[in-house]
């Protein structure tokens, strides 16, 4: 019942009347094989349904072609589009994505990395959580490349890809000022992801510099439902905010919906909102959310490029600008 019949290079070799090495070389780009043998091998392989065993190949080369994607809450719009972009890029360089979803705990990230090592993954890309330093050291020692996306924390020899969160936050403030808003708020989840915190801090600092007060509210996971709660908290304050910068588009959607439907506020006339990520829903006509775009394709490209191309200096940090997408949720675009 569980007997799997795979055809091996030996059988192909026999059928083609060549040695096993010839078969191997036929399927190894850049190896020395004559046109004639290659043809005969391919013919036999086709007929028998032969496929190179990537496990064995990986065992020899110590390089599996697998790249581990470590991510939590991957059914979230931003995450899933990033995963899509990355796996697409990986395929274009003949690698394949191994998907591991974690809960938010760093422990589960450690486990994921261990698994990656077990599979001799060529690299791991971390989208959520932060592994223990001892594990990352182990990765380095194992020759496993590491990419940290939006983690904003240093790790020996790893590539860090981050956005200019703080700078974006400053621009959000300017946008609100231009719109004539003076009572400002920042809506955040309470998970404390580095990039989210950077947006918050950047916004608060910029406001401080401008001598403006800003109310910060934090609640729950970084999801729509938390946005609902945050809006309820913020919009029932004595001095109702005129503008809310949300750490995230999902939060922003929750805020927008609650402001409009529950509090009957007109956006952007009575309330301006800016989000972050530019998820697909932000462009839907119910939201028309002004937001900062995460350039997922660019991020994916940088990550994969670094994996394939040995890095110049081995640990590198890349910081990408997030463009502001003007839509209808802020006055005076």
Residues that bind its own copies in the complex, under the rule CB under 8 A: 1-6, 49, 51-56, 58-59, 62-64, 66, 69, 74-77, 79-81, 83-84, 87-88, 91, 96-101, 114-115, 117-120, 138, 141-144, 224, 228, 253-254, 257-258, 260-262, 280-281, 284-287, 310
Please name every residue paired with 218 in a beta bridge, in sequence order, or none if there are none: 188
261 touches, from its own copies, DNA, none (C-beta below 5 to 8 Å by class): its own copies
Q: Contact between 32 and DNA (CB under 7 A)?
A: yes
Burial of 166 (0-12, 13-18, 19+ CB in 10 A): middle
Would you tell me how many other CB atoms lie within 10 Å of the CB of residue 63? Answer: 14
How many C-alpha atoms does 104 have within 13 Å on its Cβ side? 7
Please give the Cα distance from 47 to 107 (Å, whole number). Answer: 48
From residue 45, give the alpha-carbon distance in Å to each of 60, 100, 151: 21, 34, 46
Determine the interface stretch with DNA among 50-58, 69-77, 199-207, 302-310 (rule: CB under 7 A).
50-58
Which residue number, 77 or 333, has a Cβ lying nearer to its own copies?
77
Which residue number, 32 or 134, has a Cβ lying nearer to DNA?
32
Phi then psi dihedrals of residue 319, to 5 deg: -125, 125
Which residue number, 55 or 93, has a Cβ lying nearer to its own copies?
55
Q: Contact between 94 and DNA (CB under 7 A)?
A: no
Which residue number, 17 or 49, has a Cβ lying nearer to its own copies?
49
209 touches, from DNA, its own copies, none (C-beta below 5 to 8 Å by class): none
Q: Contact between 316 and DNA (CB under 7 A)?
A: no
Shortest distance in whole angstroms from residue 5 CB to DNA: 9
At 102, list the tokens: 């974690």
Residues 96, 90 contacting (CB under 8 angstroms): yes
Q: Contact between 186 and DNA (CB under 7 A)?
A: no
From residue 317, give the alpha-carbon distance in Å to each of 73, 194, 297, 320, 322: 25, 15, 17, 10, 16
Bridge pairing between strands 290-293 and 243-246: unpaired
Shortest distance in whole angstroms from residue 180 CB to its own copies: 25
Which residue number, 90 or 185, has a Cβ lying nearer to its own copies?
90
49 touches, from its own copies, DNA, none (C-beta below 5 to 8 Å by class): its own copies
Phi then psi dihedrals of residue 291, to 5 deg: -160, 165
Which residue number, 20 or 321, has a Cβ lying nearer to DNA?
20
Contacts with DNA in 122-161 (CB under 7 A)? none
Q: Contact between 61 and DNA (CB under 7 A)?
A: yes
Structural element, H or E, at residue 318: strand 316-320
Return the SS3 of 158: coil
Interface residues with DNA (CB under 7 A) are 6, 8-10, 18-22, 24-25, 27-28, 31-37, 50-53, 56-57, 59-62
């Amino acid at each position: 019942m569980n007997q799997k019949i795979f055809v091996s290079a030996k059988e192909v070799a026999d059928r083609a009347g060549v040695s096993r090495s010839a078969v191997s070389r036929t399927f190894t780009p850049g190896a020395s094989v004559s046109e004639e043998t290659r043809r005969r091998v391919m013919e036999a392989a086709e007929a028998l349904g032969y496929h190179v065993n990537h496990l064995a190949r990986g065992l020899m080369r110590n390089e599996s072609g697998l790249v581990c994607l470590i991510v939590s809450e991957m059914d979230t719009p931003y995450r899933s589009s990033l995963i899509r972009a990355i796996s697409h890029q990986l395929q274009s360089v003949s690698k394949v994505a191994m998907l591991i979803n974690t809960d938010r705990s760093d422990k589960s990230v450690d486990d994921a990395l261990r698994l990656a090592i077990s599979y001799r993954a060529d690299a791991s890309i971390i989208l959520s959580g932060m592994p223990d330093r001892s594990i990352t050291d182990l990765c380095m020692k194992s020759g496993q490349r590491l990419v940290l996306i939006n983690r904003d924390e240093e790790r020996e020899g790893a590539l860090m890809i981050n956005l200019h969160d703080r700078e974006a936050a400053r621009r959000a403030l300017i946008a609100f000022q231009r719109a004539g808003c003076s009572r400002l708020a920042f809506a955040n989840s309470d998970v404390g992801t580095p990039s989210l915190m950077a947006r918050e801090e950047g916004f608060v600092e910029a406001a401080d510099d401008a001598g403006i007060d800003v109310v910060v509210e934090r609640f729950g996971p970084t999801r729509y439902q938390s946005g609902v709660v945050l809006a309820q908290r913020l919009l029932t304050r004595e001095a109702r905010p005129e503008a809310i910068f949300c750490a995230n588009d999902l939060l922003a959607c929750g805020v927008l919906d609650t402001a409009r439907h529950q509090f009957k506020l007109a956006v952007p006339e009575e309330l301006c909102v800016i989000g972050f990520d530019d998820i697909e829903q932000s462009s839907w006509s119910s939201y028309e959310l002004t937001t900062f775009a995460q350039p997922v394709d660019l991020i994916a490209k940088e990550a994969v490029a670094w994996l394939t191309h040995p890095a110049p200096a081995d640990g590198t940090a890349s910081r990408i600008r997030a463009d502001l997408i003007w839509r209808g949720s802020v006055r005076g675009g």
